[in-house]
Structure formats: C-alpha cells, structure tokens
Amino acid sequence: MGKSRETRSRCPIATSLDILGDRWSLVIVRDMLVGKRTFNDFLASRERITTNVLTDRLNQLEQAGLVERRAYQQRPERFEYRLTVAGRGLLPVLQELCRWADLHLSGVMEPPMGFMALSLDRPLPGAAAAR
C-alpha cells in the first residue's frame, strides 16, 4: 500500500493514525465514499476545510495509496479523486465510528441512513472504482 514511509511503531493502530489521525483525512474519505470527487466538491463540505489543508491531505492520501488522482480537464488542469481498494476498505471503520459517536457523544447528528447502508458488496456512489 502506497510508498514505504518511516513509522513510529509497528503497531497497526499507531501506523494507521500516522496516515489518518489528523482532523481532515477521514472527513475527505467520508466525502469520497458518498460520491464527492473534485476539489470543489470537498471544499463545499460543511466542515469548511481550507484549500491549502485540502491539497496537503489529498496528496498524503494519494501517497499512502488510499486515493488515486486522475486528470479530467487539461486547461486549466483539474483532477478528480477516487478511493482505491484500500481507501474503500475504510467504509466499515467509518460506519463503526458513526455508531460509536451516536452511542457515546452528545450533540452529534444521527448517522445518515444512506451512509450507514453503504456496503462494500455493492457499488459505491460515483462508482467507476479506482484500483
């Protein structure tokens, strides 16, 4: 998966958090799971990520092998982003985080039924899956 990188530990949780443990990466993955593909799609999310942070996180997710970038326009050059198999594999993790938050955190919205009904056994929104 992705380029090899120096890790602080061989622990799978610590290593996963080195890639996904910031406040934005899983939000971007969530958005991709529900069909968002372009830079402007991600900027329109209710969490209001800044352009420089979004650029950095998309690059990190691509380097980690979770996201694939494809040009869809030449002038100006624009890209769409799609989850790889490894990125799509985060769906059940995010669904469990939703369940956990619903049970243990006050003031969070109820997990959207459409998101909770997604399955790796069926095509995800925006289908044309990356490798």
Higher pLDDT, 1 or 102: 102
Q: Where are the beta strands (DSSP E) in 1-65?
A: none
Residue 71 belongs to some domain of the structure: yes
pLDDT bin (cut points 50, 70, 90) of residue 4 is: low
Instruction: Check pLDDT > 60 for residue 75.
Output: yes
Give dist(CA 115, CA 40) in Å, integer.
21
Of all residues in the chain, the percent with pLDDT exceeding 70 is 92
- Domain membership flag for residue 76: yes
Domain assignment present for residue 20? The answer is yes
**119 lies in some domain:** no
Domain that holds residue 42: 12-87
Confidence band of 62 (pLDDT split at 50, 70, 90): very high
Domain count within the chain = 1
Burial of 23 (0-12, 13-18, 19+ CB in 10 A): exposed
Is the pLDDT confidence value at 124 over 80? yes
102 in a structural domain: no
Position 72 pLDDT exceeds 70: yes
Band (pLDDT 50/70/90 cuts) for residue 19 is very high
Give the CATH number of the domain where residue 80 resides. Answer: 1.10.10.10
